Structure 1
Amino acid sequence: MKGRRIVLDTLNGCEAAALMVDGKLDDLLIDDPDQIRPGAIFRAICDRPLKGQGGMILRLPDGEKAFLRHAKGLAPGQPLLVQVTGHADEGKAVPVTAKVLFKSRHAIVTPGAPGRNVSRRIKDEDERERLLEVSHEVDLPPGAGLILRSSCAGADPEMIAGDIADMAALATAVTGDAVKPDPEALVEGDSPHTLAWRDWTDPAEVVTEPGGFARESVLEQIEALSSGHVALSNGAFMYIEPTRALVAVDVNTGGDTSPAAGLKANLAAARDLPRALRLRGLGGQVVVDCAPMTKAHRKQVDSALRAAFRADPLDTTLVGWTPLGHVELQRKRERLPVLPRLGSLLA
């Protein structure tokens, strides 16, 4: 089935959203009611510094703990506005940042970072000028800035202005609550259906009727995530296996015995790796054991990896090659791993 389809449904009572591209599962968002959603904003209270790490443990409501890096100048007992950046590993504090963003489909309001900017993905200078004119029609909170997202290209000016106004009003209300002495939840993180509306902005058909996952073949593709095996072109394949310390990726040429088999398999793996990690909710340290190839081909694999991850919504850094010929990546932990929950979600 050609084209893009966004399917909004539930999995065992948990809200979920799937993005299908030409009939293939391209992205997957699944809620977890037991976890704090990334993007949630809290008024936290500084608890105790971690001097060796340069961070601070913070108190959240209901006895939850958060960890803030780069906590220089903060003192215990001090209230602080923070935003959740990802999910906590078992037994660890929730990761947060003091750089709070108010994000919608078209606009991001940035308290403490003044200036009005347009996404670099919008290249047309006339369009950039039009969008900046629209942005100046809406007042921002004092000291706040604005980023107009790539979805603004060609969008209705009233919709853009409405998004800016909504985020500006929310920022004003939240920052006004920042100095009270007790921890409090101020803004809930976006649900999968809201995230799908906010971030999957390319034209697509939206399926909202219950049971859409079964009708659109989403369920069978989610079930396939229980296997680490990922088929690639020309008979090549890779295995993705998460461990406690890192995510291991093993690339194999399959039945191809041609001289360029290793390079072809590694390029195919580079192109598909962002999608494979995204669907499985995997982040942190990623180590790729490439199929055998000469060192002269590493630049081609580097270029393919950078191009692939540039289009990925999750921040990933290409660290480099190890002496053993492995590629190391560092990927933001913004999603929960799917595999530990898969059995209960599909029950």
Structure 2
Amino acid sequence: MKGRTIILDHIQGREAAALMVDGVLDDFLIAADAPAPGTIYRARADRPVKGQGGMFLSTPDGPAFLRQVKGLAPGAMLLVQVTGYAEPGKAIPVTNRILFKSRHAIVTPEAPGLNISRRIRDDDKRDQLLEIAHDQMRDSAHGLILRSCCQEADADEIAEDISAMLVLADQVLRDTGTEPEVLSEGDGPHILAWRDWTDPAEVATAPGGFEDYGVLDALDTAQGISQPLSGGGHVYIQPTRALIAVDVNTGSDSSLAAGTKANFACAKVLPRALRVRGLGGQITLDLAPMPKKDRKGFESALRAAFKSDPDETILAGWTPLGHFELQRKRGRIPLTEILK
């Protein structure tokens, strides 16, 4: 099945969205019990953690942790936004740099100015977008980023998005409450799919879509540790409490270049494999044997593969034992913890 298809459905009573590209599950979003990233709280500062340069906060959903705070005294009220999912037993990660994000526009209260995605290079289009932005923002003190999908979007849709985010920003930032409270819920899977999967795609909303489009079979594979590679090899992805171990196996290929081919195939599929499984944190790659002269090419292939991935990933580099390490944002809850 060629092309891109977005399937909006439910699984095990949870709202979920799947993105199929050429018949392969490319991304998967599912509602979790934990607060969704993007949720905005009015929170109370509880106690500082000097060794980590942060502060524990009280929220309606439990303790949160805010890094790099200065001049914040216990008992103070502040607005914070959830940035990801917490590891078991840890506080909710939050930031005090709040964003109001939609499909076309991002309102940035702490960063004034009008900005347009660098991917939009047509000068006439950029001028048109600036005109829309100025018309909607007027004398607002907030900043604005227009996303790359504005390139093909209708002007009225862009203006509507900017207006909606401005209204939400003003509503939240003018809050005068005195107790911890949820001020804005993070987006669910169906809204996230509309917001972030912006390339042209067929959209399927009929019940049973996950079965009809092969999503359920792909999820069965994703809940296992093995990910097949082109050429007959496999990648084994095993989360542990400390890190995620990734082992590259050449399979039945016994040629001299088997290790190099398997490693480059791993670089190509790894972002999708981690994304669909909802995995983040510290990741260690135990690669198949390959000459040191091929390491630079492998790094370039890995960097290219992660370039379009939505979750921030840092390529940390090689260890003395020849492993390659990554650091990936915990933007999702592992699939195996939700689908049991």
Question: Which residues of 2 match residues 1-347 of structure 1 at below 5 A?
Answer: 1-32=1-32, 34-61=33-60, 64-139=62-137, 142-177=140-175, 179-343=176-340
Give the deviation of 1:140 after TM superposition: 6.0
Q: State the alpha-carbon separation in 2 of the partners of residues 277 and 141 from structure 1.
A: 43
Letter in 2 for 1:251: V
RMSD: 1.1
Residues 12, 339 of structure 2: 8 Å contact kept: no
Deviations 1:84-134 (A, max 9, x none): 011111111100001100000000000010011111222223222221121
Length-normalised TM-score, structure 2 = 0.98
Name the CA distance, whole Å, in 1 between partners of 2:243 and 2:139. Answer: 42
Alignment partners' CA distance in 1, 2:280 and 2:223: 17
Which letter does structure 1 place at the counterpart of 2:259?
G
Unaligned runs of 5+ in 2: none
Alpha-carbon contact 1:223-1:342 (below 8 Å) kept: no
Structure 1: which 4+ aligned runs deviate by more than 6 Å?
none
Residues of 1 paired with 2:276 and 2:138: CA distance?
Answer: 36
Would the aligned equivalents of 1:140 and 1:168 in 2 still touch at CA under 8 Å?
no
Tell me, what secondary structure is at the counterpart of 1:186?
Answer: strand
Distance between the aligned counterparts of 2:54 and 2:143, measured in 1?
Answer: 26
**Percent pairwise identity:** 61
- The superposition leaves residues 212-242 of structure 1 with CA deviations (integer Å, 9 ceiling, x where unpaired) of 1111111111111221111111112110000
Output the amino acid matched with 1:196: A
Q: Which amino acid aligns with 1:133?
A: E
Query: Which whole-Å deviations, capped at 9, do the CAs of 1:301-331 have from their partners, x for residues lacking one?
Result: 1101111111101110101110111111000
Contact residue 118 and residue 148 of structure 1 kept, 8 A: yes
Instruction: Tell me the secondary structure at the aligned position of residue 46 of structure 2.
Output: strand
CA distance in 2: counterparts of 1:185 and 1:115, whole angstroms: 28
Q: How far does the alpha carbon of each residue in 1:36-94 deviate from its partner, in whole angstroms, 9 at most, with x for none?
A: 111100111111100110000001125x1100000122111111110001111111110
Task: Give 1:278 shift.
Answer: 0.4
CA contact (8 A) 1:15 1:191 kept: yes
* Amino acid in structure 1 at the alignment position of 2:27: D
User: 1:23 & 1:84 partners in 2: Cα distance?
Assistant: 33
Secondary structure, counterpart of 2:64 in structure 1: strand
| C-alpha separation in 2, matches of 1:118 and 1:317 | 25
SS of alignment partner, residue 223 of structure 1 = helix
TM-score, with structure 1 as normaliser: 0.96
The 8 Å contact of residues 39 and 189 in structure 1, kept in 2 or not, is answered as yes
Cα shift readout 1:227-259 (whole Å, capped 9, x = no counterpart): 111111111211000000000000111122222
